[in-house]
Amino acid sequence: MKQAQRIVTVPTRGPGLYEFTDALSGFVREAGMETGLVTCFIRHTSASLLIQENAAPAARRDLERYFERLAPESAGYEHDDDGPDDMPAHLRTALTQTSLSIPIHDARLALGTWQGIYLFEHRRDAPEREIALHLVGE
């Protein structure tokens, strides 16, 4: 049994879903493990992780619009020092994921056919986002 770690940086350009499945697959391939568990951990509280449909762009647009309505701007938040998109970003992060773990089988991510792994950016003008990856296996 051994471990591998990597920080992946994902540049974002405003709110929306940014796929990083290929970066994660590359990390697993380079680590050279056949069987294991990979964990993604996003180091932010105003962006999150999500596994979603990777084929239909319309489904991703519906998903983005849904979260805009579910945790809207201009809802009279007490915390508004960091701009109107900051508090909704924390709420949308709370409703989705900060960590995700995926088994590795036959040296590949055990994803279903339609699953893509996304960073979900909730802010309009965010710094580069960091995702810490951890792999344990052999």
Q: Toward its own copies, which CB reaches closer, 11 or 56?
A: 56
Alpha helices of the chain — where are they, by DSSP H? 21-31, 57-70, 86-95
- Residues 28, 31, 119, 133: which binds its own copies (CB under 8 A)? 133
Cβ 24 to its own copies shortest distance, Å: 13
- Residues 24, 28, 31, 51: which binds its own copies (CB under 8 A)? 51
| 84 part of the interface to its own copies, by CB under 8 A | no
Do 56 and 116 contact (CB within 8 A), yes or no? no
Q: Toward its own copies, which CB reaches closer, 22 or 101?
A: 101
Task: Report how far residue 60's alpha carbon sits from residue 51's, in angstroms, rounded to the nearest whole number.
Answer: 11
Question: What does each C-alpha distance from 6 to 24, 36, 40 come to in angstroms?
Answer: 10, 16, 10
- Residues 37, 68, 73, 107: which binds its own copies (CB under 8 A)? 37
Token reading at 63: 């998903």
Task: Report how far residue 97's alpha carbon sits from residue 108's, in angstroms, rounded to the nearest whole number.
Answer: 22
C-alpha dihedral, 120 to 109 to 43 to 51, nearest 10°: 20
**Per DSSP, what are the bridge partners of residue 7?**
132
- Residues 24, 28, 31, 100: which binds its own copies (CB under 8 A)? 100
- Residues 29, 32, 108, 110: which binds its own copies (CB under 8 A)? 110
List interacting residues with its own copies (CB under 8 A). Answer: 1-3, 5, 35-37, 39, 41-45, 50-53, 56, 58-59, 61-63, 66-67, 70-71, 77-79, 81, 86-87, 90-91, 93-103, 105, 110-112, 114-115, 130, 132-134, 136-138
